[in-house]
Each structure stands twice: as structure tokens, then as C-alpha cells.
Amino acid sequence: MDLGWVKGKRVRKRITRPTRREVVVEMRELVRQAEPGRLTATRPPTLAAWLDVYFTEVAASREPPTILGGYKSPADLHVIPALGRRRIDRLCPQDIAGFYRERGKVLAPASVRRIHAMLRRALTVAVRWGLIQVNRVTMVDPPPITQTEIEPLTLDEARRGPLTRSPTGRGLGFAMVRHRP
């Protein structure tokens, strides 16, 4: 299939499948994609390359540097080493769910949810720019955040001093005091 000219060179999409019928099905799909302009001559970037573009061109114009650093740090530490070599059009929900499962072993659920939000925003921009057709991060649910009940210290526990551990093992005695008559 002819995709036109890019930088003075003709770009074609070549399809090879085991049977003629599969080739015809694939060609129909390519024609269907080419009609609204969703079929491009260039290959989508890897996730690492796209996140670099996203942080420098998109997020940098919207967020202050301190917030931007908070987005880039988890991407550099967790996302890029695990998923950075995958092309953004080849990411599948199973890859993302497996990544969340592995990161959930070393990170708090809230941290994994922040990574999910950052990936979702970055790939939504990639959809808007026409680099991919579907944001597959939206197909995966982030881990739930479990709420824990906070038990305030009693007046006696608080009087023992700010650096003494309470006999019930609930932490240091300076956090919160509940007065019991």
C-alpha cells in the first residue's frame, strides 16, 4: 500500500501473511485506517522517547518545574526501565497491568496510581497528536488505595512524652490526643 512521500522518498506499507485471505483482510483494515487519515508513514516512538517529548514539549508548558520533576522522577526510576523500549502502539493492557503488579510490590498503591495518571495523560496526548489510535492505559485499572483507621493517642499516652513509644505500640506520643473522661 502506498502511503505517499516523506522527505522525498516514497513510503509503502508491505503486508505478508500466511494466506491470501489474511492479506486481503489486513489490506481492508489498512484502507479503512487510511481513509480518515489515521495511517501514518512514520513509526510511533518508544515509550521512553515519547515520555521525553511529552515532558519537554507538553508538560513543561503546563506545569512548574517542581511539579514536572515530580512527574519525571517516577518515569525515570520505574516506567522507562520496565516499559521504555516498547513502542507506544505496541503497549498492551497485559504489559501495563503486569507493570503495576510488579511496581506494587515495592511502591505504595498511591505511587502506582500517580504513575498511572502520568502515563494516561501522556498517552492521551499521543492519541490527540495522531501517534496512536487508542490509549491502552485507560483499559487498565490502577490498584485501589486502602484506607486505614487512625487511632489517636489517649491523654496518658500523650503525657508520657513526645519521644516515648506508647505501650500499645501505636507510634510516638505526639501525633493526636483524644481526651477520654
Domains of the chain: 2-34 (no CATH), 47-139 (1.10.150.130), 148-181 (no CATH)
Is the per-residue pLDDT at 174 higher than 50?
no
Full-model pTM:
0.63
Is the per-residue pLDDT at 173 higher than 80?
no
What tens digit of pLDDT does each residue of 154-172 get? 777 777 765 555 455 555 4
For residues 57-74, average pLDDT: 85
Distance, CA of 108 to chain centre: 15
For residues 40-65, average pLDDT: 85
- pLDDT band at residue 70 using 50, 70 and 90 as cut-offs: confident
What is the C-alpha to C-alpha distance for residues 30 and 133, in angstroms, rounded to an integer?
13
For residues 71-88, average pLDDT: 92
Share of the chain above pLDDT 70, in %: 78
Q: Are 146 and 168 in contact (CB under 8 A)?
A: no
- pLDDT band at residue 133 using 50, 70 and 90 as cut-offs: confident
Q: Can you tell me which residue has the cell 516515648?
A: 164
How confident is the model at residue 37, as a pLDDT? 54
Q: Are 17 and 58 in contact (CB under 8 A)?
A: no
Q: What is the DSSP letter of 26?
A: H
Is the per-residue pLDDT at 60 higher than 70?
yes
What tens digit of pLDDT does each residue of 108-122 get? 999 999 999 999 999
